[in-house]
Amino acid sequence: MFEGRIARFDAPGTPFKIETVRLPEVAAGQILVRVIRANICGSDVHAWHGTFATRGLGGQLPTVLGHEMVGAVEALGDGVTADSNGAPLAVGTRVVFPYFFCCHTCRNCLAGRRNACLNLKMAMLGRADEPPYFVGGYGDYFLLPAGAVVYTVPDAISDDVAAGANCALSQVMYGLERVDQQLGEHVVVQGAGALGLYAVAVAKARGAARVIAIDGVPERLELATAFGADAVVDLNTATTPKERIKAVRALTEGQGADVVVEVVGHPSAIEEGLQMLGQFGRYVEIGNINVGKTFDFDPSRFVFGNKTMVGVSLYDPAVLSRALTFLVQHQHTLPLDRLAAASYSLDDINEAFSAAEGKRDVRAAIVP
- CA dist 312 to 34, 130, 172, Å? 30, 32, 9
Q: Is the pLDDT of residue 359 over 70?
A: no
Which residues are CB-contacts of 5 (< 8 A; sequence separation ≥ 6)? 18, 19, 20, 21, 139, 140, 346, 368
- Rounded mean pLDDT, 17-46: 94
Q: What is the pLDDT of residues 223-254, one digit of tens each?
A: 999 999 999 999 999 999 999 999 999 999 99
Amino acid at site 144? L
Q: What is the pLDDT of residues 300-338, one digit of tens each?
A: 888 889 999 999 999 999 999 999 999 999 999 999 988
Q: Is the pLDDT of residue 31 over 50?
A: yes
Position 108 confidence tier, pLDDT thresholds 50, 70, 90: very high
User: Which pLDDT score is estimated for 360?
Assistant: 47
Position 56 confidence tier, pLDDT thresholds 50, 70, 90: very low
Within the chain, all domains assigned CATH 3.40.50.720 are found at: 168-311
Q: What is the pLDDT of residues 138-183, one digit of tens each?
A: 999 999 999 999 999 999 999 999 999 999 999 999 999 999 999 9
User: Which pLDDT score is estimated for 54?
Assistant: 55
Position 53 confidence tier, pLDDT thresholds 50, 70, 90: low
Amino acid at site 68? E
Is residue 13 within 8 Å of residue 50, measured between CB atoms? yes
Mean pLDDT, the chain, rounded, equals 93
Within the chain, all domains assigned CATH 3.90.180.10 are found at: 2-163+340-366
- Cα-Cα-Cα-Cα dihedral of 182, 186, 187, 190, to 10°? -160
Q: Is the pLDDT of residue 78 over 60?
A: yes
CATH code of 168-311, in short, is: 3.40.50.720
User: Which pLDDT score is estimated for 46?
Assistant: 80
- CA dist 310 to 128, 165, 256, 285, Å? 34, 22, 18, 6
Position 45 confidence tier, pLDDT thresholds 50, 70, 90: confident
Strand, coil or helix: 100: strand
Strand, coil or helix: 221: helix
User: Which pLDDT score is estimated for 13?
Assistant: 85
Region of residue 133 (left: phi > 0; alpha: psi -120 to 50; beta: else): left
- Rounded mean pLDDT, 123-131: 92
Query: What is the Cα–Cα distance from 168 to 41, expressed in whole angstroms?
Result: 8
Which residues are CB-contacts of 106 (< 8 A; sequence separation ≥ 6)? 117, 118, 119
- CA dist 123 to 42, 153, 266, Å? 15, 20, 24
CATH code of 2-163+340-366, in short, is: 3.90.180.10
SS3 of 271-296: the string is HHHHHHEEEEEEEEECCCCCCCCCCC
pLDDT above 70 as % of the chain: 96
Residue 15: asked if its preceding bond is cis (omega within 30°), the reply is no
Query: What is the Cα–Cα distance from 273 to 305, expressed in whole angstroms?
Result: 13
Q: What is the pTM of this model?
A: 0.92
Which residues are CB-contacts of 33 (< 8 A; sequence separation ≥ 6)? 71, 72, 73, 74, 95, 97, 141, 142, 143, 144
Beta strands of the chain (E only): which ranges? 2-8, 17-23, 31-39, 69-76, 94-96, 100-101, 121-122, 141-144, 151-152, 186-190, 210-215, 231-234, 257-262, 277-285, 308-311, 342-344, 364-366
